[in-house]
């Protein structure tokens, strides 16, 4: 019988660019369920008539590096965004990330991958800046 062992380099995950949905203006009245999203492909959606979106939007960007030619699993749970003026007010961001990425051939420092997300607001959503941390992790498949 033969014995084998595969040794891999440790994975490194580096945040390169923050995810930004821009500015979201709420209309008056009683309403709910307005979803604002930016896909990891960079497609922005703000189509509910109760919200007006403006300002620059940008996808988040990460770089993963490790052993060449292997596939890396990406885990991206939802993120809690906290209102910076009132910590009791939060929004849930549903993260849009690839389920896996393939590391490149030798000579490349790693591979970049984009991350998007979506939030849902209502007439009762408190105004203010909401921010949070994406807890994205990577592991070899």
* DSSP per residue, 30-50: S---EEEEE-TT--EE---TT
Residue 1 has pLDDT above 80, yes or no: yes
Q: Supply 51's token pair.
A: 């919200």
| Residue in this structure with the two tokens 């959606």, named with its chain if needed | 45
Please give the model's pTM, rounded to 2 decimal places.
0.91
Question: Could you give the C-alpha distances from 130 to 32, 34, 59, 85, in angstroms and in order?
Answer: 18, 16, 16, 9
How many domains does the chain divide into? 1
pLDDT tens sequence across 17-26: 999 999 999 9
Mean pLDDT of the chain: 96
- What pLDDT is stored for residue 105 in this prediction? 83
- CA 104 – CA 127 distance, rounded (Å): 43
Band (pLDDT 50/70/90 cuts) for residue 51 is: very high
Question: Could you give the C-alpha distances from 19 to 38, 59, 97, in angstroms and in order?
Answer: 9, 5, 12
Band (pLDDT 50/70/90 cuts) for residue 107 is: low
- What pLDDT is stored for residue 130 in this prediction? 99
Residue 43 has pLDDT above 90, yes or no: yes
Residue 5 inside a domain? The answer is no
Per the structure, the complete domain to which residue 110 belongs is given by: 12-122+130-135
Q: Quick one: average pLDDT of 47-73?
A: 96
pLDDT tens sequence across 72-103: 999 999 999 999 999 999 999 999 999 999 99
Q: Supply 122's token pair.
A: 């209502």
Tell which phi-psi region holds residue 22, choosing left (phi > 0), alpha (psi between -120 and 50) or beta.
Answer: left
Residue 6 inside a domain? The answer is no
| Residue in this structure with the two tokens 């991206």, named with its chain if needed | 76
Residue 4 inside a domain? The answer is no
In the sheet with 137-140, reading across from the earlier edge strand, the strands are 100-102, 71-75, 137-140
Q: Supply 24's token pair.
A: 């979201």
Residue 34 inside a domain? The answer is yes
Coil, helix or strand at residue 57:
coil
Residue 1 inside a domain? The answer is no
């Amino acid at each position: 019988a033969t014995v084998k062992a595969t040794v891999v380099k440790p994975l490194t995950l580096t945040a390169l660019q923050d995810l930004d949905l821009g500015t979201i203006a709420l209309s008056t009245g009683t309403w709910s369920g307005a979803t604002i999203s930016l896909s990891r492909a960079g497609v922005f959606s703000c189509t509910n008539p109760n919200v007006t979106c403006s300002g620059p939007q940008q996808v988040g960007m990460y770089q993963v590096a490790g052993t060449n030619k292997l596939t890396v699993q990406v885990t991206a749970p939802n993120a809690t965004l906290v209102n910076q003026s009132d910590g009791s007010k939060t929004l849930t961001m549903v993260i849009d990330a690839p389920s896996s990425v393939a590391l490149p051939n030798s000579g490349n420092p790693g591979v970049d991958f984009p991350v998007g997300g979506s939030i849902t607001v209502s007439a009762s959503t408190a105004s203010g800046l909401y921010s949070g941390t994406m807890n994205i992790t990577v592991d070899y498949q």
